[in-house]
Amino acid sequence: MDQSISQAKLRRAFSPDIFRIETLDDEIHADNRCGQLLIEFLRDLINTHNIPKEKASVMVRGADYFLRNFVISILRENIFRLRPGRVRQFGGNWYIVQNLEPNSAELESMLEGVKAFYRWAEKIGWITPLLADQIVGECSLGDYYQNRIKTFWAIEGDGFSQWDRECSIRD
């Protein structure tokens, strides 16, 4: 019974509408609220799922990087209204070009956190099962992301443009 009460409180406190971004103030507000939301996610991982604090922290850090640094800051989109392909764009392009030494193990760890966050969001009722499944599916493209990192390191001459077009973050 307490769990459903807490889920109802979470649904009210973190309504998807507060993550709508149209202005710089909206972006700042969404970023701040996302930080608060991730604290609740961490609590859920530790208290409900009995995940050790260290592992839960790593998972939340991965979700944080995706949500705040990519979805809110770069895409300026609502974290609960992701368009199909956004996780793929993150893992197959943005993460790779934004990090000095992108690697599959680090990316896989981040995507584990993203996957857990969106399953939690589905459980709370912020997103549909269809959206959760789509996000989880994109998080599970390990071989694809590994290949993208490998081909990034193999770029020669002016090959970046073609590499970028294969999984562009531009719409």
Tell me the pLDDT tens digit for each residue of 102-117: 999 999 999 999 999 9
Split at pLDDT 50, 70, 90, the class of 92 is: very high
Q: Rounded CA gap, 13 and 5, in Å?
A: 12
Has residue 2 got a pLDDT over 60? no
C-alpha distances in angstroms, 98 versus 25, 92, 136? 25, 11, 22
Per-residue confidence (pLDDT) for residue 11, from 0 to 100: 85
Which two tokens mark 167? Answer: 């999984």
CA distance 143 to 112: 15
Under the banding of pLDDT at 50, 70 and 90, the label for residue 90 is: very high
How far, in Å, CA of 67 to CA of 62, rounded?
Answer: 9
Q: What is the overall mean pLDDT for the chain?
A: 94
> Are residues 96 and 152 in contact, defined by beta-carbon separation less than 8 angstroms?
yes
Which pLDDT band holds residue 6 (cuts at 50, 70, 90)?
A: confident
Q: What is the pLDDT of residue 8?
A: 81
